[in-house]
Amino acid sequence: MAGLAATYGSGSMTNAISCIEKADVILITGSNTTENHPVISAYVKRAVTRRGARLIVVDPRRTKISEFAQIHLRQNLGTDVAWINGMMHVIIQEGLYDKPYVESRTVGFEELKRMVAKFTPDFVESITGIPGDQLAAAARLYASGKPASILYCMGITQHTTGTDNVKALAALAMLCGNVGVVGGGVNPLRGQNNVQGACDMGGLPDVYSGYQKVADPALRAKMAKAWGVAALPEKPGLKVTEMIPKAESGEIKALYVVGENPLVSDPDLNHAEHCFQHLEFLVVQDIFLTETARNAHVVLPSACFAEKEGTFTNTERRVQRVRKAVAPPGDARDDLSIICDLSTRLGYPMRYEGAEAVFAEMASVTPSYAGLSYARIEKEGIPWPCPVPDHPGTPVLHMGSFSHGKGIFFAIDYIPPAETVDDDYPLYLTTGRVLYHYHTGTMTMKSEGLMDRAPECFVEIHPSDAKNLGVAEGTRVTVTSRRGSIEAVARVSPRVRPGMIFIPFHYAQAAANRLTNARLDPISGIPEFKVCAVKLAKAA
């Protein structure tokens, strides 16, 4: 969000999902699309197999979607800025970029040109391990796409340079005139069904709904008036990755966790557990007794999506109705009624007739949602921005101009990952998901069928590394980083590159995040989940 907002003025998926099938070239990076977003992967596969679209995949692992690729580049972990700059170097050097688009719709091109000048294919190969001729071929293929679409996910963002990675991808798309066109764009694939909606509603420390900055006095006054209070704080709140360490220091004494399981999903999990132990009061509101909820002083049982009314905003910014299908079990209540009752007891009376009343209030203070109502999305969702009631919605952003005028090229240099391998920790670890489980397994691990398919944690290791370590398929191994250690079963596979291993992060019993690095991107505050140094040995 931070990278796209800085470049384009809006931090969301630029195009509709349907645009994928209209692309001439598709570039996927940092996304195991087939397992993480199987429905979207179907659009990609149809575009390739039925329409002849050409696919480039940049991923160190050999994923299912890479089998459909014309070019698969396998970079060293944490080197994304280098290969993106390398592609732009080739495109500029060979005059393949969209000169009229760059001149009329962007600023900062000369600075970008000077920065990428040193990223020759040979120089990029020395950093990324991608053969220079393959990099050049991928650059020429992407530049030939009219239009070309970029899809990415957390393999790009979960780095200390995550914001830089996104800015670089955004620059690549602008360079070739692929933003603001049907079938093109830069498209982050959201990791959960309503992540986009949570962000849109102000679930961030520095904005109100619709990304209206709390630092803006006029916006604070508008929101204060709507909520019937005298004034609102001008200082942004804390990112979640800033909150947990402050529990250890005593600056935060109480924490209220809703629908999240940080005692599996947070990085450097041993330290996170230590921080949680310092809290004087922990409240968890969830549908199941998660690992975090088991440590809570109070658990508030809440309703799941099928047990309440509301809306979800999906990855393409489409606002859709969610309808109550069944009653919540036992004493579980919908989140809205729980929050309203808590607010009222804490001194701010909060009463709504239901979710529709909340939506109406939100639309009245949020320009991008101002034209939306339950009546308008009764049968089919509408993508924001939708500024007035007769507006059809906006499937493709930045047509004609960017949200803040001209798109901005940022000249980004390559910065190595925060932790690199050495003699003590000679392997790189990356983490991710598998098809059969979702996030921390709060729901999926209660399904017998899914557990039968993926019952335990595993470590994917290249055959050459397995041979050197005396590890065979099915061997139980111990993986250790500077922060912790876990035990899992080995899967010997060429899906990973030599010198790296892959571990899914779903399994609390062998939580990969006991190993991961808590170093943060300085802008977004996201941890470097996708690369850290580890060692591996047979389990004792």
Using an 8 Å Cβ cutoff, are 94 and 140 in contact?
yes
The residues, ordered by sequence, that sit 6+ positions from 262 with a Cβ below 8 Å of its Cβ are: 240, 244, 272, 276, 292
- In this structure, is residue 25 part of a structural domain? yes
- Whether 421 is covered by a domain: the verdict is no
Judge if 346 and 446 occupy the same domain: no
Give the number of other Cβ atoms within 10 Å of residue 49's Cβ.
10
Strands 476-480 and 532-538: antiparallel
d(CA 298, CA 281): 8
Query: Mind listing the pLDDT tens digit for each residue in 353-374?
Result: 999 999 999 999 999 999 999 9
Structure tokens at 150: 């970029």
First to last CA, the chain: 44
Backbone angles phi, psi at 537, to 5 degrees: -150, 160
Q: Return the pLDDT at 127.
A: 97
Q: Which of 269, 285, 267 is nearest to 277 (CA)?
A: 269
The verdict on 243 and 311 lying in the same domain is no
Torsions phi, psi for 285 (to 5 deg) = -115, 115
Q: How far apart are CA 388 and CA 481, in angstroms?
A: 53
What is the pLDDT at residue 439?
Answer: 87
Q: Give the pLDDT band (50/70/90) at residue 404.
A: confident
pLDDT tens for 123-149 read 999 999 999 999 999 999 999 999 999
Run of H or E including 46: helix 38-51
- Residue 10 buriedness (CB in 10 A; 0-12 / 13-18 / 19+): buried
Beta bridge partners of 500: 428
In the chain, % of residues over pLDDT 70 = 100
| 8-state DSSP, 207 | B
CA distances (Å), origin 126, targets 10, 58, 427, 519: 34, 17, 18, 25
The pLDDT assigned to 191 comes to 79
- Indicate if the pLDDT at residue 295 is higher than 90: yes
In terms of domains, do 208 and 171 share one?
A: no
448, containing H or E segment: helix 448-453
Same-domain pairing of 370 and 466:
no
Q: Would you say residue 534 lies in a domain?
A: yes
pLDDT bracket for residue 540 (50, 70, 90): confident
- Single pTM value for the model: 0.93
271 and 340 assigned to the same domain: no
How many domains does one find in the chain? 4
- My answer on whether 211 and 250 are in the same domain is no
Specify the CATH number for the domain of residue 254: 3.40.50.740
As beta bridge partners, residue 284 has: 257, 299
470 confidence band (pLDDT: 50, 70, 90): very high
Domain contains 411:
no
Burial class (CB in 10 A: 0-12, 13-18, 19+), 207: buried
- How far is Cα 533 from Cα 418, in angstroms, rounded to an integer? 10
Q: What is the largest CA-CA distance in the chain?
A: 68
Based on the fold, state whether residues 76 and 168 are members of the same structural domain. yes
Q: What is residue 137's predicted lDDT score, i.e. its pLDDT?
A: 98
204-258: pLDDT as tens digits: 999 999 999 999 999 999 999 999 999 999 999 999 999 999 999 999 999 999 9
Nearest residue to 457 via CA among 420, 511, 527, 406: 511
Instruction: Evaluate if residue 438 carries a pLDDT over 90.
Output: no
Instruction: Mark whether 23 and 153 lie in a shared domain.
Output: yes
Say if residue 278 is in the same domain as residue 362: no
pLDDT at 192: 83
Query: Residue 453 maps to which CATH number?
Result: 2.40.40.20
What range does the domain containing 249 cover?
A: 238-301
Q: Centre a 10 Å sphere on the Cβ of residue 490 and count the other Cβ atoms it contains.
A: 23
What's the pLDDT score for residue 11?
A: 86
CA angle, residues 139, 131, 80, in degrees to nearest 5: 60
Which position has the token pair 């999506």? 305
Query: Tens digit of pLDDT for each residue in 309-346?
Result: 999 999 999 999 999 999 999 999 999 999 999 999 99
Mean pLDDT score, 196-207: 94
Looking at the structure, do residues 27 and 145 belong to the same domain, yes or no?
Answer: yes
CATH code of residue 87: 3.40.228.10
Residue 198 included in any domain: yes
pLDDT confidence band for 177 (50 / 70 / 90): very high
Asked whether residue 395 is domain-assigned, the answer is no
pLDDT in tens, 474-502: 999 999 999 999 999 999 999 999 999 99
In a domain, 363, yes or no: yes
Same domain (yes/no): 220, 86: no
Provide the sign of the torsion angle of the four alpha carbons 50, 52, 32, 407, taken in this order. Answer: negative
Length of the chain: 540
40 with 185, same domain: the answer is yes
For 247-253, the CB contacts below 8 A with 24+ separation are: 247/275, 247/276, 247/278, 247/279, 248/274, 248/275, 248/278, 250/278, 252/279, 253/279, 253/280, 253/281
pLDDT tens per residue, range 521-535: 888 889 999 999 999
Is 512 inside any structural domain?
A: yes
Q: How high is the pLDDT of residue 1?
A: 80
Residues with Cβ within 8 Å of 316's Cβ and at least 6 positions away in sequence, in order, are 13, 15, 16, 17, 383, 395
Looking at residue 24, what is its pLDDT? 97
